[in-house]
Structure 1
Amino acid sequence: MSTPDPTRSFTSVGAVPAGPSPQAVADAFDPARLTQARQLAALTKKDLAERIGVTPAAVGQYETGMTRPRPDLIPRLADTLGVPTAFFLTGRPHGKLDGSTAHFRSLRSTRAHQRAKAVAFVEQVWELTYALEKQVRLPHVELPGFSGGEVHSGVEVPREPALAARALRHLWGLGSGPVSHIVRHMEAHGIIVVFPPPDEDATTVDAFSTSQLPRPIVVLTANRFDDIHRYRFTAAHELGHLVLHGDAASGDSQQEREADVFAAEFLTPRDSILPELPTRLDLRRLVALKHTWGVSVDSLLYRCREVGLISDSAAGRAYQRLKTLRDQPGFAPEPISDYPGEQPVLLRQAFDLAIAETGLTMAKLATQLAWHASRVRELLGESDQRPTLRVV
């Protein structure tokens, strides 16, 4: 008679293994996974301690590795944090990220627990990317200055933001005209772009990026400002951080200004847009240019002031007038959902290819990651296909 495997538990005699036993998880407990799961759940150590019936000091000791949770606490931890018990096992690749190296679009309004949750989310995005890269070959990273992984462009660009934007346009073969589908261009050059699952924190954290993992990652929040033109500028802003500030700690207001300059030049090169801008304030002309170049009227108005076509006082009056036109055609926000080319697809397409070519399934991928399948679907951008039961 064979010896039972202590790392497996069974729901009944002859049942399919349900996962590692609580004792096995306690014996091979990874403290960093507890921290990651707690941050993803946006819980403090005190919050978690109250829910599982221990002291905050005990949770702190679990996370530092000083002590390990008792086996009877493992199921409670998993239920409270919404992860499988196997999530806490050591041995899986973990893309640990220092939060100080992530560039947040709205750093001042982003609270510490929101940043921690965002960083943990990016770690999971990398883990999903890594798992998919074992199945399919993703586009090479073609990003000046990036050296976080096995491949990099080897191309250096000027540190001055506008010059760097022009250099990247040249490297990517974008010419001097409007950039269609900026997100698709980013993905085609090896940058991972994702939407976070919708929740209350996603409405506060605007966007963020990092180049400190083996692939550069940009997180764009679609539902905070559901406007395609602001969204495209934000994507270009984060691209600027990746190019200009990949080796610098975040939080510098000068970096934010430089990323804005990069974004403006990347989307509307000065030499190309200048001949098209009106020499006097003309909102109808700016609306037409908005649709041609894919940038907001506000951004074009700023460009007019920046190049000296209108005075600061005239620009101020124009901005005030724009506030009264926000709900009018041509000035109202345009939903991001109306522009499929600006929505991330790289990870989802990699998964679909892996299904077709290697036999990967959602269940296999979830098991490799030690996540619930619903979490994998969230990060792949796949909506829940189950029918909704409505009780009437």
Structure 2
Amino acid sequence: MHRIQKLKTYICIRKVGKMENIVAINLTRARQFRGLTMDQLAGKINCSKQAISHYENGVRYPDSKTLLAIGDALDLELDYFYSDSSVKFSLHNISYRQGFGLDSKQKQDVEDETSSLLSDYLELEAIAKELVVFQNPLEDLVISSTSDAEKAAKQLRKRWKLGEGPISNITGLLERKGVRIIKCDFDFFYTHEGLSGWAEDKKVPVIVLNSRQQDLSRMRFTILHELGHLLLVMAENVDEIAIERICDAFAGAVLLPVEILIQEFGKNRTAITMPELKRIKELYGISVAAIMVRASVTKLISWDAYNKWKQSDFSDFDYGQFSGTEEPQRFEQMLYRCLSERKIGFDKAARLARRDEAELRKIYSQQQLEF
């Protein structure tokens, strides 16, 4: 459709009051994804920052000339501004991954549910003006082996200034860095803790967590395994099975760097006691099984010693528990901030959070403090 015809359609729809919020949300999202401040966008189209603020908050709406200028400045077709603000999410190819076992319908169900939840998430981000643009700290590395994964994990800790100690809350860390973490209630039996994928033309990385009750140490490993899928640039000759091993190695190395292993265990061990393993698990939030894999991979114990241990009959769950939390918090934080600042009403907040409005009002009134 010609640009002028599109503008006429936009103006007609506005007259019946259906497009204002969509235009405001899409404008905010587009500006933030392109890394522009309101001042910078205003400069590009020769208007004031206050005008941009009014457009994004739905106080005023851009006229046809301004909307054309905004589209040119953001390199967007006019369709973007007044089309539905829903998001299309796509999972990584998971058909080859052992134990994942999603058929085509189940995969589509997960993608559809995540797309719906993510649309609400990004809409709330736009309203709150709190979109975090994701930057891959490892995009300059090409990974072809598990030893490369070890180096990548070390670089990640360095570039994100994590030091060598325990990471108390991986979910909170990733949410601050721009990874959207969403809990999804699968309507079918599915034993794995998480999946991952991208939305918004690979601008928005997403980790989908299975909302069923899970072992926290195992969940932390899974989150970092999925982060490996999102961050690591694989060499062209790496096959799919090797990719899984590389992501496992990356997750283990992020959780428990080799320097910490040596510090905790010493070198050339012939045996490791369960109290030692329990202590590491409780402190670093990594399962006993994953600790033993790390000890084997980094040659602190021999491969034969690892295989002998692996054949023993033990339940990881019985040997200590990590006492932290990995519950996603960012969506709820934005929701309550928007409510307290009156950027949204309870009806809108309840819809975005998929909760009963009366229940949300009750929780909010119990937590609110007036200043």
Equivalent residue for 2:303? 312
Residues 97 and 329 of structure 1: CA distance in aligned 2, closer, same or farther (over 3 Å): closer
CA contact 1:158–1:164 (8 Å) conserved in 2: no
Matches of 1:103 and 1:235, distance apart in 2: 19
Equivalent residue for 1:267? 255
Q: Does 1:229 align with 2:213?
A: no
Equivalent residue for 2:285? 294
User: How far has the Cα of 1:262 moved from its partner?
Assistant: 1.0
| CA RMSD, Structure 1 to Structure 2 (Å) | 3.5
Partner amino acid, structure 2, of 1:132: L
Partner amino acid, structure 2, of 1:285: E
Matches of 1:228 and 1:104, distance apart in 2: 25
CA contact 2:124–2:335 (8 Å) conserved in 1: yes
User: How far has the Cα of 1:375 moved from its partner?
Assistant: 6.9
User: How far has the Cα of 1:194 moved from its partner?
Assistant: 1.6
User: How far has the Cα of 1:240 moved from its partner?
Assistant: 1.0
Q: Does 1:168 align with 2:156?
A: yes
Partner amino acid, structure 2, of 1:313: D
2:204 to 200, 204, 215: 215
| Pairing 1:1-392 to 2, within 5 Å after superposition | 91-99=83-91, 108-138=100-130, 140-144=132-136, 156-159=140-143, 160-197=148-185, 199-201=187-189, 203-213=190-200, 214-223=203-212, 226-245=214-233, 252-277=240-265, 279-282=269-272, 283-321=274-312, 323-326=313-316, 328-330=318-320, 334=321, 339-340=324-325, 342-365=326-349, 373=351, 376-377=354-355
CA contact 1:99–1:116 (8 Å) conserved in 2: no
CA contact 1:105–1:208 (8 Å) conserved in 2: no
User: How far has the Cα of 1:304 moved from its partner?
Assistant: 1.6
User: How far has the Cα of 1:139 moved from its partner?
Assistant: 5.4
Residues 196 and 208 of structure 1: CA distance in aligned 2, closer, same or farther (over 3 Å): same
Q: Which moved more, 1:349-358 or 1:308-317?
A: 308-317
Residues 181 and 101 of structure 1: CA distance in aligned 2, closer, same or farther (over 3 Å): same
Equivalent residue for 1:36? none
Partner amino acid, structure 2, of 1:376: R
TM-score by length of 1: 0.60
Matches of 2:95 and 2:262, distance apart in 1: 30
Residues 344 and 99 of structure 1: CA distance in aligned 2, closer, same or farther (over 3 Å): closer
Matches of 1:101 and 1:324, distance apart in 2: 33
User: How far has the Cα of 1:137 moved from its partner?
Assistant: 2.7
- Structure 2 unaligned residues grouped into runs of 5+: 1-12, 19-81, 364-371
SS at match of 2:301: coil
TM-score by length of 2: 0.63
Partner amino acid, structure 1, of 2:283: T
- Would you tell me which structure has more helix in proportion to its own residues? 2
Partner amino acid, structure 1, of 2:241: S
CA contact 1:194–1:220 (8 Å) conserved in 2: yes
Cα displacement string for residues 26-77 of structure 1 (whole angstroms, at most 9, x for unaligned residues):
xxxxxxxxxxxxxxxxxxxxxxxxxxxxxxxxxxxxxxxxxxxxxxxxxxxx
User: How far has the Cα of 1:136 moved from its partner?
Assistant: 0.9
Matches of 1:292 and 1:137, distance apart in 2: 36
Residues 106 and 351 of structure 1: CA distance in aligned 2, closer, same or farther (over 3 Å): farther
User: How far has the Cα of 1:316 moved from its partner?
Assistant: 2.1
Matches of 1:126 and 1:287, distance apart in 2: 37
User: How far has the Cα of 1:141 moved from its partner?
Assistant: 3.3
Partner amino acid, structure 1, of 2:125: E
SS at match of 2:311: helix
Residues 229 and 99 of structure 1: CA distance in aligned 2, closer, same or farther (over 3 Å): closer
Matches of 2:283 and 2:125, distance apart in 1: 36
Matches of 1:117 and 1:181, distance apart in 2: 29
User: How far has the Cα of 1:320 moved from its partner?
Assistant: 2.8
Matches of 1:158 and 1:319, distance apart in 2: 32
CA contact 1:110–1:204 (8 Å) conserved in 2: no
Matches of 2:93 and 2:121, distance apart in 1: 19
SS at match of 1:143: coil
Partner amino acid, structure 2, of 1:228: L
CA contact 1:102–1:119 (8 Å) conserved in 2: no
Residues 286 and 98 of structure 1: CA distance in aligned 2, closer, same or farther (over 3 Å): closer
SS at match of 1:195: strand
Matches of 2:207 and 2:149, distance apart in 1: 19
Matches of 1:236 and 1:100, distance apart in 2: 15
CA contact 1:193–1:218 (8 Å) conserved in 2: yes
